[in-house]
Amino acid sequence: MLIDKDNFKNGKKSEAEKLRESLFMKRTHGTISLGEEKQNKADTFCEGYKNFIDKAKTEREAVAFAIDMAQKAGFTEFDLNKNYKPGDKIYYVNREKALIIAIIGRSGVKHGAKIAVAHVDSPRLDIKPNPLYEISDLALLKTHYYGGIKKYQWTAMPLSLHGKIIKRDGTSVDVAVGEDENDPVFCVTDLLPHLAKEQMTKPLQKAIEAENLSILVGSRPFKTDSGSELVKLNIMRILNEKYGIIESDFLSAELEIVPAFKAKDVGFDRSMIGAYGHDDRVCAYPSLMALLDYKGIPEKTIITVLADKEEIGSDGNTGMKSAFFRYFIADIAKLDKVDYRRVLTKSMCLSADVNAAFDPLYSTVYDQANSCYLNNGVVITKYTGSGGKYGTSDASAEFMGYIRNLLEKNDVLWQTGELGKVDAGGGGTIAKYMANLDVNVVDVGVPVLSMHSPFEVVSKIDVYMTYKAINVFFSEEN
- Positions touching Mn ion (CB under 5 A) are 279-280, 353
**Of the candidates 198, 188, 308, 210, the residue with the CA atom closest to the CA atom of residue 254:** 308
Give min distance, CB of 321 to Mn ion, in A. 15
DSSP run (H or E) holding 39:
helix 36-55
Complex with Mn ion: residue 233 or 350, whichever CB lies closer: 350
Q: Residue 214 or residue 381: which is nearer to Mn ion going by CB? A: 381
Quick one: three-class SS letters along 354-422? CEEECCHHHHHHCCHHHCECCCCCEEEECCCEECCCECCCCCCHHHHHHHHHHHHHCCCCEEECCCCCC
Which residues are paired to 266 by β-bridges?
A: 272
Q: Can you spell out the DSSP letters for 155-186?
A: SSS-EEEEEEEE-TTS-EEEEEES-STTS--B
Question: CA-to-CA distance for 272 and 264, rounded, in angstroms?
Answer: 8
Shortest reach from residue 426's CB to Mn ion, in Å: 12
Question: What phi and psi values does residue 214 have, to the nearest 5 degrees?
Answer: -95, 145
CA R_g for the chain:
25
Q: How far is the CB of 373 from Mn ion (least distance, A)?
A: 18
List for the chain the helix, strand, coil content (%; round to 5). Answer: 35, 25, 40
DSSP state of 2: H
Identify the three-state secondary structure at position 433: helix
Query: In terms of CB distance, is 285 or 340 closer to Mn ion?
Result: 285
Bond from prior residue into 169 cis (ω within 30 degrees of 0): no
SS3 state at 470: helix
CB 348 within 8 Å of CB 114: yes
- Report strand pairing: 414-416 vs 378-381: parallel
Number of helices (H) and strands (E) in the chain: give both, helices first: 13, 22
- Amino acid identity, residue 245? I
Q: How far is the CB of 331 from Mn ion (least distance, A)?
A: 27
Closest contact distance (angstroms) between CB of 444 and Mn ion is 12
Distances (CA, A) of 48 to 45, 64, 238, 398, 464: 6, 16, 36, 35, 11
Do 259 and 455 form a contact (C-beta atoms < 8 A)? Answer: yes
At closest approach, how far in Å is the CB of 39 from Mn ion?
A: 26
Residue nearest to Mn ion (CB): 280
Q: Which is nearer to Mn ion, 56 or 132 (CB)?
A: 56
CB of 35 to Mn ion, least distance (A): 30
Task: State which residue, 310 or 336, has the beta carbon closest to Mn ion.
Answer: 310
User: How far are the Cα atoms of 39, 146, 157, 187, 310 from residue 153, in angstroms, in the given order?
Assistant: 32, 14, 9, 12, 21
232 or 452, CB closer to Mn ion?
452
Name the minimum Å distance from CB 429 to Mn ion.
6
Find the shortest distance in angstroms from Cβ 168 to Mn ion: 35
Q: Which is nearer to Mn ion, 249 or 279 (CB)?
A: 279
| 61 vs 279 by CB, closer to Mn ion | 279
User: Minimum distance from CB of 310 to Mn ion (Å)?
Assistant: 6
Q: How far is the CB of 19 from Mn ion (least distance, A)?
A: 40
DSSP string spanning 100-160?
Answer: EEEE--TTTTTT--EEEEEE----EEEEEEEEEEEETTEEEEEEEEESS--GGGGSSS-EE
Which residue, 249 or 353, is less far from Mn ion as judged by CB? 353
Residue number with CB closer to Mn ion (371 or 381): 381
Minimum CB–partner distance for residue 280 and Mn ion (Å): 4
- Whose Cβ is closer to Mn ion: residue 119's or residue 468's? 119
Q: Would you say 301 or 453 has its CB closer to Mn ion? A: 453
Sequence length of the chain is 478
Cα–Cα distance list, 195 to 135, 183, 192 (Å): 20, 32, 6
